[in-house]
């Protein structure tokens, strides 16, 4: 920061705790990384200084309230990206309000970000009020994002030059994401700040799906625009066969949804069609009832004569998926099932910045327009921008009128009566400006509440459709068994499972082999739930049809006489007892015990929980 004039540099100030703190102004360089306690008048004077070149975060606290912002932790989190000042709520915050005017002050247990640069008063967000300690992580994250956004918005334009500087190769570390289409980076050499723009890479993809915080990137820095170009790290489109083997489970993002089919993306530009028969086995289902656009789903990849075929029918909830590929070299997987659904922007729609804290001054949450039946239409983005511009113009007009009236009063030597009349006019203008600012703030809070309600509704819809897809009762047969003989009924169900799970081009090479049922098998089969029977049938199909790919994942192995690694296998004459996985990562996961018969073929012995290790 440039050195401040002496009139803007208080020599010292006493903090609420009684200790001495240096003045607001700092020597040229990066902002201080330790919080400072000052009086409200000194902080207001520093914030109004036209030469201020750093973003400021002001924290107010209630002296006798143990719940408060940790100023030192916040300063460490911002890592020198902003200066942090602390005020005691009461006399000092009233001095700050008097020094700033309007609705720019802070009060109670709160924090507020003050940008720098031209027009900074129009870019101040709402204060972040703290009511309980559980809010702190989310509020710290909001403040960090606001500081990054203020730093990006306040970056001065580069002066025009006869010859534009040539972009230079450099390395930079990602600091954070002020918005969904911008990433702030810091050069490893020199410490200069720059920005990565998502439209220079993959438009429509949030920037935090491409790079991660703390990642070091190589690119070219354009000093004239402050942009850091890493487009050379964008990976070329893959062929699915290079990423996924036949039978792998992959993550895909739902594109369009129609009643009889849906399209999904394995990565941008790699779109595949899934018919309703590969989404649900219920003929009455519609894809629109089961899938939501932009939802992330798990699909199984099959190759049929070189063509890719995706299916959602035989994907178990506990089956591990192959991580999605990154879109930038060294970046994170572009799809993550743990990523909140609300973070996925709809194609063609801009992604809003994090909304301000929707709590009012008293700490109660404002009711959303949905709660009032949407009695009043919410303002559009253009109307809100117009309202903000109108409010600013009225504020400027009011200040101009105040200056003219005060100058006229001093010039003519106005009497006390005239001075009181002028002061009344000043108060009226201030009140009108405060009312306009309050109405605008209420509108923005109401809009943020409606957006939160929309996110919750959409997330609930996705979860409901996921549960609908996973509901086993939809595929259960309405009638009872089709055969009186339990052996014949099991053989029928196994043959049906084999027909549904084995692709057409594999049926000739993976027919059901020779097998028989042991004396204990049907007893263990009848106590299973319907979802467990479905998984058990798939395991038996993989075993009896000798499907080497899926069978390897079930890890068939000898059942040994004890827990020793070199213990002898359990045998019955020349027959050998084997064991494989039916379920994984669930309580009491099922295992299948079977005998490999010396004369050829298999005997299905019993279905048991994983902790049963005796035949």
177-207 pLDDT, tens per residue? Answer: 887 788 888 889 888 888 898 888 888 788 8
- The last residue of a domain, from among 103, 123, 153: 153
List pLDDT tens digits, range 452-468: 888 888 888 888 887 77
Whether residue 160 is predicted with pLDDT greater than 50 in this model: the reply is: no
The pLDDT, as a whole number, for residue 605 is 94
Residue matched to tokens 């009020």? 129
Q: Residue 540 burial (CB < 10 Å; 0-12/13-18/19+)?
A: buried
Q: Do 521 and 406 share a structural domain?
A: no
Residues 543, 545, 549, CA angle at the centre, nearest 5°? 70
Give the helix/strand (H/E) hosting 255.
Answer: strand 249-257
The pLDDT, as a whole number, for residue 381 is 53
**Is residue 215, in this structure, part of any structural domain at all?**
no
Q: Are 83 and 147 in contact (CB under 8 A)?
A: no
Cα separation of 216 and 596, whole Å?
Answer: 54
- Taking residues 604-611, report their average pLDDT: 92
Strands 110-114 and 56-61: antiparallel
**Hey, which residues does 557 pair with through a beta bridge?**
579
Whether residue 596 is predicted with pLDDT greater than 60 in this model: the reply is: yes
Cα separation of 193 and 173, whole Å?
Answer: 10
| pLDDT confidence bin for 154, thresholds 50/70/90 | low
The pLDDT, as a whole number, for residue 471 is 65
Q: Do 54 and 135 share a structural domain?
A: yes
- The last residue of a domain, from among 406, 435, 470: 470
Q: Do 148 and 22 share a structural domain?
A: yes
The pLDDT, as a whole number, for residue 272 is 92
**Is residue 217, in this structure, part of any structural domain at all?**
no
Lowest mean pLDDT among 18-27, 91-100, 593-602: 18-27
List pLDDT tens digits, range 22-76: 344 443 355 666 777 778 888 888 888 888 888 899 998 888 888 889 888 888 8
**Of 68, 221, 185, 78, whose CA–CA distance to 142 is shortest?**
78
Cα separation of 578 and 547, whole Å?
Answer: 16
List pLDDT tens digits, range 474-525: 555 545 788 999 999 999 999 999 999 898 888 999 999 999 999 999 999 9
Cα separation of 196 and 341, whole Å?
Answer: 24
Residue matched to tokens 């409200």? 40
pLDDT, mean over the chain: 79
Q: What is the CATH number of the domain that holds 248?
A: 2.40.50.140
Whether residue 361 is predicted with pLDDT greater than 50 in this model: the reply is: no
| pLDDT confidence bin for 384, thresholds 50/70/90 | low
| pLDDT confidence bin for 208, thresholds 50/70/90 | confident
Residue matched to tokens 């208080």? 10
Residue matched to tokens 């194609």? 347
The pLDDT, as a whole number, for residue 364 is 39
Lowest mean pLDDT among 222-231, 295-304, 369-378: 369-378
**Of 315, 318, 249, whose CA–CA distance to 279 is shortest?**
315
Q: Are 11 and 23 in contact (CB under 8 A)?
A: yes
Structure tokens at 112: 């507020």
The pLDDT, as a whole number, for residue 343 is 46
Lowest mean pLDDT among 3-7, 36-40, 400-404: 3-7
User: Which is more confidently placed, 425 or 543?
Assistant: 543
Residue matched to tokens 């006399």? 91
* Chain Cα centroid distance, residue 244: 26
Whether residue 291 is predicted with pLDDT greater than 80 in this model: the reply is: yes
Locate all alpha helices (DSSP H) within 80-230, ordered by sequence.
Answer: 91-100, 136-153
Whether residue 555 is predicted with pLDDT greater than 60 in this model: the reply is: yes
- 148: Cβ–Cβ under 8 A, 6 or more apart, which residues? 81, 175, 176, 177, 178, 184
Query: What is the residue range of 391's domain?
Result: 381-470
Strands 182-187 and 128-129: unpaired
Lowest mean pLDDT among 102-106, 351-355, 423-427, 540-544: 351-355
Q: Do 145 and 53 share a structural domain?
A: yes
- Taking residues 366-370, report their average pLDDT: 35
The pLDDT, as a whole number, for residue 520 is 92
Cα separation of 77 and 59, whole Å?
Answer: 14
Q: What is the CATH number of the domain that holds 529?
A: 3.30.2310.20
**Is residue 59, in this structure, part of any structural domain at all?**
yes
Q: Do 18 and 137 share a structural domain?
A: yes
Buried b (16+ CB within 10 A) or exposed e, 121-157: bebbbbbbbbeeeebbeebbebbbbbbbbbbbbbeee
| pLDDT confidence bin for 132, thresholds 50/70/90 | confident
Q: Residue 159 burial (CB < 10 Å; 0-12/13-18/19+)?
A: exposed
List pLDDT tens digits, range 315-326: 877 788 899 999
Residues 573, 578, 584, CA angle at the centre, nearest 5°? 165
- The last residue of a domain, from among 325, 348, 369: 325
**Is residue 266, in this structure, part of any structural domain at all?**
yes
**Is residue 258, in this structure, part of any structural domain at all?**
yes
Cα separation of 57 and 150, whole Å?
Answer: 11
* Chain Cα centroid distance, residue 72: 27
Q: Supply φ then ψ for residue 555, to 5 degrees.
A: 55, 60
Q: From start to end of 258-402, where are the E strands?
A: 261-267, 270-275, 296-304, 307-311
Lowest mean pLDDT among 70-79, 155-164, 377-386: 155-164
Q: Do 403 and 284 share a structural domain?
A: no
The pLDDT, as a whole number, for residue 14 is 37
Total count of domains within the chain: 4
Q: Tell me the torsion sign for CA atoms 484, 485, 487, 491.
A: negative
Q: Do 517 and 438 share a structural domain?
A: no
- Taking residues 241-260, report their average pLDDT: 90
Q: Do 459 and 390 share a structural domain?
A: yes
The model's pTM is 0.46
Whether residue 312 is predicted with pLDDT greater than 60 in this model: the reply is: yes
**Is residue 75, in this structure, part of any structural domain at all?**
yes
Q: Do 148 and 245 share a structural domain?
A: no
Cα separation of 204 and 253, whole Å?
Answer: 14
- 397: Cβ–Cβ under 8 A, 6 or more apart, which residues? none
**Of 122, 126, 123, whose CA–CA distance to 106 is shortest?**
126
List pLDDT tens digits, range 436-449: 888 888 888 888 88
**Of 406, 234, 453, 418, whose CA–CA distance to 326 is shortest?**
234
Whether residue 133 is predicted with pLDDT greater than 80 in this model: the reply is: yes
| pLDDT confidence bin for 386, thresholds 50/70/90 | low
Residues 460, 323, 302, CA angle at the centre, nearest 5°? 95
**Is residue 339, in this structure, part of any structural domain at all?**
no
- Taking residues 140-158, report their average pLDDT: 73
Q: Are 59 and 67 in contact (CB under 8 A)?
A: no
Q: Do 457 and 513 share a structural domain?
A: no
The pLDDT, as a whole number, for residue 380 is 56
Q: Are 589 and 583 in contact (CB under 8 A)?
A: yes
Region of 585 on the Ramachandran plot (φ > 0 left; ψ -120 to 50 alpha; else beta): left
Cα separation of 141 and 133, whole Å?
Answer: 14
Structure tokens at 365: 């949450």
Q: Are 405 and 374 in contact (CB under 8 A)?
A: no
- 556: Cβ–Cβ under 8 A, 6 or more apart, which residues? 543, 578, 579, 580
| pLDDT confidence bin for 410, thresholds 50/70/90 | low
- 531: Cβ–Cβ under 8 A, 6 or more apart, which residues? 472
| pLDDT confidence bin for 537, thresholds 50/70/90 | very high
The pLDDT, as a whole number, for residue 314 is 80
Structure tokens at 235: 């990976």
Q: Do 97 and 40 share a structural domain?
A: yes
Whats the size of the chain, residue-wise? 615
CB count within 10 Å of CB 228 equals 28
**Is residue 458, in this structure, part of any structural domain at all?**
yes
- Taking residues 119-139, report their average pLDDT: 83
Cα dihedral 398, 401, 403, 409 in deg (nearest 10): -140
CB count within 10 Å of CB 527 equals 8
């Amino acid at each position: 920061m440039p050195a401040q004039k002496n009139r803007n540099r208080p020599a010292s100030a006493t903090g609420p705790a009684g200790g001495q703190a240096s003045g607001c102004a700092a020597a040229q360089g990066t902002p201080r990384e330790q919080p400072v306690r000052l009086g409200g008048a000194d902080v207001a004077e520093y914030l109004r200084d036209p030469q201020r070149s750093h973003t400021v975060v002001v924290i107010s606290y209630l002296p006798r309230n143990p719940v408060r912002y940790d100023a030192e932790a916040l300063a460490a989190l911002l890592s020198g990206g902003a200066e942090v000042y602390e005020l005691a709520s009461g006399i000092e915050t009233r001095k700050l309000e008097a020094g700033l005017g309007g609705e720019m002050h802070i009060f109670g247990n709160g924090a507020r970000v003050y940008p720098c640069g031209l027009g900074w008063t129009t870019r101040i967000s709402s204060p972040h009020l703290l009511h309980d300690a559980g809010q702190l992580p989310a509020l710290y994250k909001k403040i960090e994002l606001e500081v990054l956004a203020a730093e990006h918005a306040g970056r001065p334009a580069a002066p025009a030059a006869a010859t534009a500087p040539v972009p230079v190769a450099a390395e930079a570390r990602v600091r954070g994401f002020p918005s969904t289409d911008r990433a702030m980076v810091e050069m490893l050499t020199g410490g200069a700040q720059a920005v990565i723009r998502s439209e220079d890479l993959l438009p429509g993809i949030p920037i935090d799906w491409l790079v991660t915080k703390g990642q070091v990137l190589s690119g070219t820095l354009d000093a004239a625009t402050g942009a850091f170009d890493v487009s050379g790290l964008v990976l070329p489109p893959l062929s699915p066969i290079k990423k996924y083997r036949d039978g792998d489970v992959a993550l895909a993002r739902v594109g369009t949804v129609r009643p009889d089919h849906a399209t999904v993306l394995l990565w941008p530009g790699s779109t595949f069609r899934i018919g309703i028969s590969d989404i649900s086995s219920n003929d009455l289902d519609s894809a629109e009832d089961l899938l939501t656009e932009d939802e992330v789903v798990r699909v199984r990849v099959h190759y049929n004569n070189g063509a890719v075929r995706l299916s959602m029918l035989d994907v178990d909830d506990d089956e591990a998926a192959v991580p999605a590929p990154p879109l930038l070299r060294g970046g994170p997987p572009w799809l993550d099932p743990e990523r909140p659904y609300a973070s996925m922007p709809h194609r063609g729609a801009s992604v809003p910045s994090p909304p301000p804290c929707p709590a009012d001054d008293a700490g109660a949450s404002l009711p959303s327009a949905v709660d009032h039946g949407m009695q009043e239409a919410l303002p559009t983005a253009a109307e809100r921008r117009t309202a903000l511009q109108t409010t600013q113009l009225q504020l400027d007009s009011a200040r101009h009128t105040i200056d003219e009236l005060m100058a006229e009063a001093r010039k003519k030597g106005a009497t006390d009566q005239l001075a009181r009349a002028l002061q009344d006019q000043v108060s009226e203008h201030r009140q009108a400006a405060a009312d306009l600012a309050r109405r605008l703030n209420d509108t923005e809070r109401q809009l943020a509440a409606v957006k939160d309600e929309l996110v919750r509704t959409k997330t609930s819809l996705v979860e409901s459709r996921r549960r609908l897809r996973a509901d086993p009762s939809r595929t259960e047969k309405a009638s009872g068994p089709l055969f009186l003989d339990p052996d014949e009924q099991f053989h029928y169900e196994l043959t049906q499972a084999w027909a549904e799970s084995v692709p057409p081009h594999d049926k000739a090479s993976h027919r059901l082999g020779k097998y028989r049922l042991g004396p204990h098998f049907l007893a263990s089969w009848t106590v299973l739930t319907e979802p467990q029977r479905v998984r058990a049938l798939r395991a038996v199909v993989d075993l009896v049809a000798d499907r080497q790919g899926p069978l390897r994942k079930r890890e068939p192995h000898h059942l040994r006489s004890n827990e020793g690694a070199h213990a002898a296998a359990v045998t019955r004459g020349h027959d050998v007892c084997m064991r494989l996985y039916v379920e994984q990562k669930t309580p009491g996961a099922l295992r299948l015990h079977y005998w490999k018969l010396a004369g050829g073929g298999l005997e299905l012995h019993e279905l048991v929980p994983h902790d049963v290790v005796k035949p």
